A and B are shown apart, each in its own frame.
Chain A
Amino acid sequence: MSVAELEHFYEANLPKIYRFYFYKVLNREIAEDLTSQSFLKFVQEVSRRVIKKPKAFLYGIARHVIMDFLRVKYQGKEVPLDEEDETLIADFEAPEVHILDYLERLLPKVPEKQAIVLRLRFLEKLSLQEIATKLDKDVNYVSTTQKRGFISIKKLLQCTDVPTNIVEDEL
């Protein structure tokens, strides 16, 4: 793979790989780390041998990397994967996004009172008034708590703003 091809390949596949990881780990920093590992492993392999299906190969690496990560995290068993398995591509090209599932995974990490309100609001689909009634609280309390919960979720996802003091030169 030439450097120019590699550059194009990288730009085309970075968003997909990153998104794949992000929805697995729901953490920007970890997703970035795993994405970096995947691409660097890919480059390492491409330099050593012929890769007939680079996209499938990359996605195979990505699945290996996430399995390694989860194995370390949960001390689980090895799961063998086939490299260059084209069926893997579907997972990356158009992944189903289940926002509420992701929210539910994050709720245990949010302060309890915020988690309660977020669960009632998004998973049980109650209005603020209904939540206030259920919790025997003021609506403003529920609104404020919901907003704080939203901020907590945002922090957990580590959504950081793009720095405004860095402007790239056109090369």
Chain B
Amino acid sequence: MNNVKGKTQLPPHEVSEEELTTLFQEAAVPRAEFAKNLKEQVLLQAQNSKPRNNFFSLFMTKLSKPAMQLGVIGAVLLIGAGAFSYDYLNKNSQFANQTEILAQIAQANQQKPKANAESTSLSTGIDVKMNSYVLALENRNFTYRKTTNENTLGAAADRCSPLIVFNREVTREVYSEFYANKTDPFSTYYLSVSYAGDTIFDYTLNRGSEQWQHRGGSYAVHMKDLQEIRPMLLQTDDQIQANTGAEISRPGVVTPFFGDGAKIVGKETRNGKRVYKIVLATHVSCSNPPKTVGGIRPEEEIYIIQQSTTPATYITYADVNTYAIVQEEMYIGTVTTRNLVYRKSTTEQTSMTGLTSEVEKEFTFNLNVSQKTVDASQENYEKGYRTSIVDYLNAKGGYVLVLSGDRPLMSASSPYVTYVPDTGKHLIDRAFYSNTPAGQALFDDNKDMYKQTLEPNRVYPFLTLTYSYSGTTQDKITSISVSETNARLKGLAALEAFGSSMNMKANGTATLTIGGRKLVAEVFESFFEGTSEPGSDGSSDNLAENGAQPMPPIKGEPLYKEMVLVFRNGDVTSVVTVGMEYSMTKAELAKLLNFEEVSTTDTTRLDKELTTALQQLQVLY
């Protein structure tokens, strides 16, 4: 042995050619797990294929003529029928009730908390925005639960990024819930923390009417006197069945959760737990779906869903005793390491603890970061929005039309006005987010949340006021909406911009009074094709000039129609849309529509006018 610097060294070891050969030979043998996974895929695909006659042909080619002459055909047919019905995946009788087991798994995991982030349904890959967590009323056997997800991106993550069910930056998510009483439907305390490596990415703590939020930035926000967050209560299917007697279809539970065709392919022991292995082979689209507009999916997204052509495999492992999902994986194409898109491993810890000091400590804000406190009870959304509109109009200049009389103003809105409530200011503050690309991405997602999306080539009114039915029995008007724009619009163009030009026909003009002046407006009235005027038997003996018909009668109910008036007052085009009883004429309407011009610099007057409206205005935050 050599002694170098006082240490004893082993003699130099020559790696032999045998060792090298063994290395290659071992690598040239397929891994057991790979072999098993591929076998499952192959047999699943074979099982899902249509029945075919080539099986029979294969058997026939192996039979000799004498055997056939002896009538072995009959025996072969019987054997063939048996083989056709042979189902490898049902070989083990405990998977004969697959649907029931899958339903139990689906129900057990629908009651789990989810992050405040876009997630993806297992089956279709469609992004589903999860804004609140959902708890089902259940016979809870714990007062404390901690759920931890470990997220891993696979080698194929970049090939199908939109379908990753967690934020790519987030490596771990921890959700903790505490219920003061086992039977409380809502948690007393709730903590959600997600990490990007060792750094906090997203922190939310709820304690009754208080909430703390931190997104890795230079401060956290502590909100007090919030309306308590109450998740939607869902009943499990069993509860619905018990309460209503209605039978709940198990496939109706399974398919939305797992996808069409998911199967339990086996059981194994994983990390000391006995788990079911569930496989879904499907097709997905890895394209980024277009953003929804107003909550509605654009047509191109539906097209993308229909054109999903990328083969994908989802593998889910669920605890055989608790049905809790312990791991989820997604692969693009075949199930191999390089095709793994993501893996999410879940562990859960529950107990029947009371409110100990340890529990109290866990649900106490203790991050080493400064706090900004917002008292939600001091928030006055209506006043804030009203002030924003008044300020906007004041800066814009000119006049706005206000309806004279005591008809209540229900709402006032402008797409050019952005109001940020105190409880939301931090969400559009760059400093609230971490100084990382991920933090920038979060900020970019949120910075325009209070702005309205305006299409570039579209005309928008700078103000819309909506008045309601006055409540008197003589009032034949159900609503009046007044939209104003500086764009020069006439006729149908004005209707298309601010209302509906469908089923509208020109009905001459009407004279309005504005600020004591007379002004002529174009009039349009709604019509309905196909029937005669009200009260008739449906015969078409009263056709209008262009073939349009008045609204059809609805027996026993008052008849209504819509009239739209378009006029220009100075440099402003106004479009007034009125819902009214059918019998009302345009002349009657014109007498009722008395407008007053209010200067936008008269902020006190404007503020007073809008106050009533905005008490009923619903502002979305």
Interface residues of A (CB under 8 A from B): 1-7, 10-11, 14-15, 18-19, 22-23, 28-30, 32-33, 35-37, 39-40, 43-44, 46-52, 97, 99, 102-103, 121-122, 127-128, 139-140, 142-143, 146-147, 150, 153-154, 157-160, 162-163, 165-169, 171
Contact of A1 among B38, B55, B61 (CB under 8 A): B55
A163 to B19, CA, bound (A): 23
Nearest residue, chain A, Cβ from B84: A2
Specify which chain A residues have a CB less than 8 angstroms from the CB of B31 in the assembled complex.
28, 32, 160, 162
Q: Is B266 an interface residue (CB 8 A)?
A: yes
Q: Which 3 A-B pairs have the closest CB atoms?
A: A36-B334, A47-B49, A143-B12
Query: How distant is A162 from chain B, measured CB to nearest CB, in Å?
Result: 6
Is residue B57 contacting chain A, with contact meaning CB distance below 8 A? Answer: yes
Q: In the complex, A14→B83 CA distance in Å?
A: 23
Of residues 147 through 165 on chain B, the ones whose CB sits less than 8 Å from some CB of chain A are 155
B19 touches A165 (CB 8 A): no
| CB pairs A–B below 8 angstroms (17 shown) | A2-B86, A3-B46, A4-B86, A7-B39, A33-B338, A40-B42, A43-B45, A46-B54, A47-B52, A97-B28, A99-B21, A102-B24, A158-B27, A165-B270, A168-B268, A171-B91, A171-B266
Q: B336 near A44 (CB under 8 angstroms)? A: no
Closest to B337 in A: A29
Given contact pairs A39-B42, A99-B17, A22 touches B27 in the complex (Cβ within 8 A): yes
Q: Residues of A contacting B336 with CB < 8 Å? A: 29, 32-33, 36
The reply to whether A37 and B50 form a contact with Cβ atoms under 8 Å apart is no
Does B92 lie at the interface of the complex (its beta carbon under 8 Å from any beta carbon of A)?
yes
B17 shortest CB reach to chain A, Å: 6
Report whether B34 and A32 are in contact in the complex, using a CB–CB cutoff of 8 Å.
yes
Chain B contact patch, size range: 35 or more
State whether A168 and B36 are in contact (beta carbons under 8 Å apart), knowing that A43-B45, A157-B23 are contacts in the complex: yes
Q: Is the CB of A146 within 8 A of B15?
A: yes
Inside 8 A of A6's CB, which chain B residues have their CB? Answer: 42-43, 46
Enumerate chain A residues within 8 angstroms of B129, measured Cβ to Cβ: none
Give the residue name and chain of the B residue nearest to A22 (CB).
B28
Give the complex CA separation of A46 and B9 in angstroms: 61
Bound CA span A97–B32, Å: 22
* A150 to B, closest residue via Cβ: B15
- Residues of chain B touching chain A, judged by Cβ–Cβ distance below 8 Å, are 2, 4, 9, 12-15, 17, 19-21, 23-36, 38-39, 41-43, 45-47, 49-50, 52, 54-55, 57-58, 61, 83-84, 86-88, 91-92, 155, 266-272, 274, 333-339
Report chain B residues within 8 Å CB of A160: 31, 337
Establish whether residues B42 and A163, one from each chain, have CB atoms under 8 Å apart when the complex forms.
Answer: no
List the B side residues contacting A22 at CB < 8 Å: 27-28
Given contacts A11-B39, A40-B45, 13 further A-B contacts (CB under 8 A): A2-B86, A7-B39, A28-B31, A29-B338, A32-B31, A32-B38, A36-B335, A37-B334, A43-B42, A128-B14, A159-B23, A165-B269, A171-B266
Assess the A150–B14 pair: CB atoms within 8 A: no
Determine the distance from Cα of A168 to Cα of B32 in the docked complex, in whole angstroms: 11
Q: How far apart are A88's CB and chain B's nearest CB, in angstroms?
A: 19
Closest to A141 in B: B12
Residues in chain A near residue B54, CB distance under 8 A: 1, 46, 49-51
Which residues of B sit under 8 angstroms from A48, Cβ to Cβ? 52
Q: Which residue of A lies closest to B54 (CB)?
A: A50
Q: Which residues of B contact A36 (CB under 8 A)?
A: 38, 41, 333-336
Closest to B340 in A: A29
- Bound form: Cα–Cα A117–B23 in Å: 18
Chain B residues whose C-beta falls within 8 Å of the C-beta of A128 in the assembled complex: 12, 14
Task: Decide: B39 and A146 in contact? CB cutoff 8 A.
Answer: no
> How close is A139's CB to chain B, nearest CB, in angstroms?
5
Partner of A43, one of B23, B34, B49, B91: B49
Q: Does A159 lie within 8 Å of B55, measured CB to CB?
A: no
User: Closest residue to B334 on the A side, CB-wise?
Assistant: A36
* CB of B287 to closest CB in A, whole Å: 22
Is A159's CB under 8 angstroms from B27's CB? yes
CB–CB A147/B15 < 8 A: yes
- Expressed in whole angstroms, the minimum distance between the Cβ of A146 and any Cβ of chain B is 6
CB distance from B614 to the nearest CB of A (A): 61
| Complex alpha-carbon distance, A33 and B339, angstroms | 8
> Hey, which chain A residues are within 8 Å of B26, CB to CB?
159
B338 contacts across to A, CB distance below 8 A: 29-30, 32-33
A28–B45 touching, CB < 8 Å: no
Cβ-defined partner of B42 (8 Å) among A4, A5, A10, A139:
A10
Question: B334, A33: Cβ atoms under 8 Å?
Answer: yes
B28 CB contacts on chain A under 8 angstroms: 18-19, 22-23, 97
Docked Cα-Cα span, A49 to B91, in Å, equals: 26
Is A165's CB under 8 angstroms from B271's CB?
A: yes
Report the Cα distance A19→B24, complex, angstroms.
10
Residues of the A chain whose Cβ atoms lie less than 8 Å from the Cβ of B267: 169
Distance from A93 Cβ to chain B, minimum over Cβ atoms (Å): 14
Q: Which residues of A contact B42 (CB under 8 A)?
A: 6, 10, 39-40, 43
B86 lies within 8 A of A3 (CB) = yes
What separation, in Å, do the CA atoms of A78 and B2 have in the docked complex? 59
Known: A19-B29, A139-B12. Is A50-B270 also a contact (CB below 8 A)?
no
Least Cβ distance of B255 to chain A in Å? 24
| Closest-CB distance, A107 to chain B (whole angstroms) | 12
Question: Is A50's CB under 8 angstroms from B58's CB?
Answer: yes
Which residue of A28, A30, A32 has the most chain B CB atoms within 10 A of its CB atom?
A: A32
A156 CA to B131 CA, complexed, in Å: 45
